[in-house]
Amino acid sequence: MTKNNRLTSDLTIEQLLAALDKDVPIDLVEQPTILPQLTKADDEYNEYYQTASFLAAFKITEGKHFIKGSVLYELFKLWNKGTKLSSKSFHLQLAKIMKNLNPSGGASYRVNERALRLVNYIAQYKKKHKQKPLYNKDYRKHFEKFFNELNIRPGNLYVEADILYHVYDTHQYNNRRKTYNFRIFENICKLFFEDKYPDKTVLPFFGVNEDIKQHISESAVRNWRQGRKQFNDNKIRKKLTKEDKKDLIYPEEE
């Protein structure tokens, strides 16, 4: 961690998390209170110092709000990037400062309101930085080739997953190539395109560019939808809204 000219305890939660988000290291200027029985010669000193510094940086103290220990450890790892302090060691040191309500199982504590607010920020941070599974490299390479050959890119034209799969299946068949099943295709598409569920079916719609129209005609799409209504009507929970239809490939007529 590098020096920061401003005391971290003077920063708001928003400023602290913004710094974490930008990978700006935060250094604690003020010294935490160290237990008198610990000295720098003790192996435990560094573990305790890291834990106490973390609490001081975010002004986390005991209070009346229940919180899971795992949440605090997640924040600790965001704050102290690259730390080798394990979750077990973190909670052992934390228990010397705050009462662990569940020492025999998953650690939990009662903390002040400021700490409680951190929970929402941690959830937002994790959601923003969540990495979707990349799947098998062979799968990814296989589908990237298909998307590139047809020049299918992310866009604002939404196509039902089964129709997009039909385009894929037809292309692979015509070129005498291997075809993966629908579920693999659907999950791979979620890595490449925005998905939404405008008609509340069990299948998502993927946002692609206009080039998709070069590979499937309006009549083919309408025939596909008509067949779906006949054989899969129980999965259609409501009609598309007018707003949804504007973004849909070959919108259904009123």
Do 234 and 152 belong together in one domain?
yes
* Window from 108-117, 145-154, 194-203 with minimum mean pLDDT: 194-203
Do 242 and 159 belong together in one domain?
yes
Residue with tokens 């008509």: 226
Do 238 and 204 belong together in one domain?
yes
Range of the domain at 19: 8-128
What angle in degrees, to the nearest 10, is found between the helix axes of 113-129 and 44-58?
Answer: 100
Do residues 2 and 8 lie in contact, with contact meaning Cβ atoms separated by under 8 Å? no
Residue 60 maps to a domain: yes
Do 168 and 122 belong together in one domain?
no
Picking from 146, 250, 244, the residue whose alpha carbon sits closest to that of residue 196 is 244
Contacts of 136 (CB under 8 A, 6+ apart): none
How far from 63 is each of 6, 70, 102, 131, 144, CA to CA, in Å? Answer: 26, 17, 16, 34, 52
With H, G, I as helix, E, B as strand and everything else as coil, classify residue 6.
coil
Do 170 and 239 belong together in one domain?
yes
Do 197 and 155 belong together in one domain?
yes
The pLDDT value given to residue 148: 94
| Predicted TM-score (pTM) of this structure | 0.44
Residue 254 maps to a domain: no
Do 81 and 52 belong together in one domain?
yes
Q: What percent of the chain has pLDDT over 90?
A: 18
Give bridge partners of residue 205 from the DSSP assignment. 160, 196
Residue 3 maps to a domain: no
Neighbours of 199 (CB within 10 A): 19
The answer to whether residue 193 scores a pLDDT higher than 80 is yes
Structure-model confidence comparison of residues 233 and 2, the more confident one: 233
* Summary mean pLDDT of the chain: 75
Task: Give me the mean pLDDT over the 216-224 stretch.
Answer: 86
DSSP state of 151: T
How many independent structural domains does the chain possess?
Answer: 2
Beta strands in the chain (DSSP E): 62-68, 108-111, 154-160, 195-196, 205-208
The answer to whether residue 40 scores a pLDDT higher than 70 is no
The answer to whether residue 28 scores a pLDDT higher than 60 is no
Do 224 and 144 belong together in one domain?
yes
How far from 121 is each of 52, 110, 124, CA to CA, in Å? Answer: 21, 18, 5
